[in-house]
């Protein structure tokens, strides 16, 4: 398994664990629909979820025995030829024997979903052979993430789409092209190049055509940002075919604001832009207003800067998207900074 595949499997395993916890706490109708859509996206999703449920089922017995540690339980599960357990983190995937995707049969998978209480679904249309697919020819699917949520999907062509917080995307494949419409939020793409079938992303007034690459697209109400992390893409407007496209290479970014196109791309730190894939927010001498704005994309309680002069104060560092407390503690170490935490707001002011 390649490093990229290990990373994808690790992310899917983490999502399976998140869904298991949410199921235990109870799903509302919207969450239930999203959970079913997540399961339908790939047999790997079902496999990872069943692995989590099996681990949760065996854990009380393991604790009761006392002699068998969690590590021993994992080893035992891996030695079982019928086990679907995989490592939960990409960097541990090399431990134990290699696990390869199984060839799932629709009836067997439907039975598994029924056992989970999800209901029997007709999934043969989505799953073909051993390839975990999200979109196949002439199939349109819509996926979205809630505030603070992230999701990863492997498409039928083996491309991978990572959805950031508050993101919505519609995916449609046919014999001529692979089209993804990013309606809101941010997504990162790892594209399998097919010269005869272009991979195109439409986001606001911008369309991106892959030339074999990895790139990030973020769409806001008034701007669209395209960042290339590997390879190259062609970027152009969605409606004006007379305007020439721009070619972006690795480490380059283009920002289109209110339809105003720059003359050329700029050089950026692509790893900083895609830090969200590692559940991080990374800043290098950035104004506090932008830092808190980024945190507000993930935090359940938003930050407010009550002293206008603080908005331009420069901040550097790497912060976790799901660890607001550490960022608050960092702010409180700064001279003359006061942070007040309430039930609805985190107020930042200057003494």
Whether the CB-CB separation of 307 and 349 falls below 8 Å is answered with yes
Residue 107 C-alpha from the chain's centroid? 29
Whether the CB-CB separation of 198 and 173 falls below 8 Å is answered with no
Q: Is the dihedral of CA 113, 118, 122, 128 positive or negative?
A: negative
Q: Does residue 227 register a pLDDT over 90?
A: yes
Please report, for the chain, the start and end positions of each structural domain, with discontinuous segments joined by +: 1-128, 134-276, 279-350
Q: Tell me 277's DSSP state.
A: G
Give the range among 39-53, 298-312, 328-342 with minimum mean pLDDT: 39-53
List of residues 6+ apart from 110 with CB closer than 8 A:
120, 121, 122, 123
Q: Does residue 176 register a pLDDT over 80?
A: yes
Q: What are phi and psi of 204, to 5 degrees?
A: 60, -125
Confidence of residue 13 (pLDDT cuts 50, 70, 90): confident
Bigger pLDDT: 59 or 203?
203
CA distances to 70, 86, 227, 233, 269 from 275, rounded to whole Å, are: 31, 25, 12, 20, 10
Q: Helix crossing, 43-65 with 106-115: angle to 10°?
A: 50
Whether the CB-CB separation of 219 and 198 falls below 8 Å is answered with no
CA dist 68 and 304 (Å) reads 49
Position 6 scores a pLDDT of 67
Q: Tell me 341's DSSP state.
A: E
pLDDT single digits (tens) 103-115: 444 444 444 455 4
Position 17 scores a pLDDT of 82
Q: Tell me 104's DSSP state.
A: -
Q: Determine which helix (DSSP H) or strand (DSSP E) holds 292, and give its type and residue range.
A: helix 288-296
Return the exposure string of 262-272: e unless at least 16 CB atoms fall within 10 Å of the residue's CB, then b: eeebeebebee
Q: Does residue 326 register a pLDDT over 80?
A: yes
Q: Does residue 270 register a pLDDT over 50?
A: yes
Position 88 scores a pLDDT of 36
In CATH, what number does 134-276 get?
2.60.120.1440
Q: Does residue 25 register a pLDDT over 60?
A: yes
Confidence of residue 79 (pLDDT cuts 50, 70, 90): very low
Q: Mean of the pLDDT values across residues 120-131? A: 37
Whether the CB-CB separation of 178 and 208 falls below 8 Å is answered with no
CATH 3.55.50.30 assigned to 279-350: yes
CA dist 273 and 15 (Å) reads 22
Q: Helix crossing, 43-65 with 3-25: angle to 10°?
A: 70
Question: Token digits for 209?
Answer: 């055509």
Position 63 scores a pLDDT of 54
Confidence of residue 218 (pLDDT cuts 50, 70, 90): very high
CA dist 142 and 135 (Å) reads 10
- Concatenating the DSSP letter of every residue in 1-65 gives --HHHHHHHHHHHHHHHHHHHHHHH---HHHHHHHHHHHHH-HHHHHHHHHHHHHHHHHHHHHHH
In this structure, the chain runs to a length of 351
Position 243 scores a pLDDT of 72
pTM over 0.95: no
Give the range among 212-216, 225-229, 310-314 with minimum mean pLDDT: 212-216
């Amino acid at each position: 398994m390649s490093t990229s595949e290990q990373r994808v499997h690790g992310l899917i395993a983490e999502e399976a664990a998140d869904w298991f916890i949410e199921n235990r706490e109870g799903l509302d109708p919207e969450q239930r629909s999203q959970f079913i859509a997540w399961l339908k996206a790939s047999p790997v999703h079902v496999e990872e979820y069943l692995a989590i449920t099996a681990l949760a089922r065996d854990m009380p017995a393991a604790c009761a025995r006392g002699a068998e540690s969690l590590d021993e339980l994992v080893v035992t599960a891996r030695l079982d030829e019928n086990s679907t357990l995989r490592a939960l983190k990409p960097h541990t995937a090399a431990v134990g024997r290699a696990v390869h995707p199984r060839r799932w049969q629709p009836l067997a998978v439907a039975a598994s979903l029924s056992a989970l209480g999800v209901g029997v679904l007709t999934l043969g249309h989505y799953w073909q052979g051993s390839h975990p697919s999200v979109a196949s020819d002439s199939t349109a699917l819509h996926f979205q993430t809630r505030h603070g949520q992230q999701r990863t999907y492997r498409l039928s062509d083996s491309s991978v789409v990572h959805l950031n917080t508050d993101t919505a995307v519609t995916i449609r494949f046919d014999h001529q092209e692979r089209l993804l419409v990013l309606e809101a939020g941010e997504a990162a793409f790892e594209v399998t190049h097919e010269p005869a079938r272009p991979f195109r992303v439409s986001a606001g007034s911008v369309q991106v055509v892959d030339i074999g690459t990895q790139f990030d697209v973020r769409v806001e109400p008034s701007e669209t940002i395209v960042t290339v992390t590997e390879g190259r893409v062609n970027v152009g407007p969605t409606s004006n075919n007379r305007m020439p496209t721009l070619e972006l290479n690795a480490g380059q970014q283009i920002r289109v604001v209110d339809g105003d196109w720059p003359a050329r791309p700029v050089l950026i730190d692509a790893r900083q832009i895609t830090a969200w894939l590692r559940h991080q927010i990374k800043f290098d001498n950035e104004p506090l207003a932008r830092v808190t704005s980024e945190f507000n994309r993930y935090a359940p309680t938003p930050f407010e800067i009550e002293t206008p002069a603080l908005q331009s104060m420069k901040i550097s560092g790497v912060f976790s998207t799901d660890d607001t407390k550490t960022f608050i503690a960092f702010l409180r170490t700064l001279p003359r900074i006061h942070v007040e935490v309430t039930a609805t707001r985190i107020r930042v002011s200057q003494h």
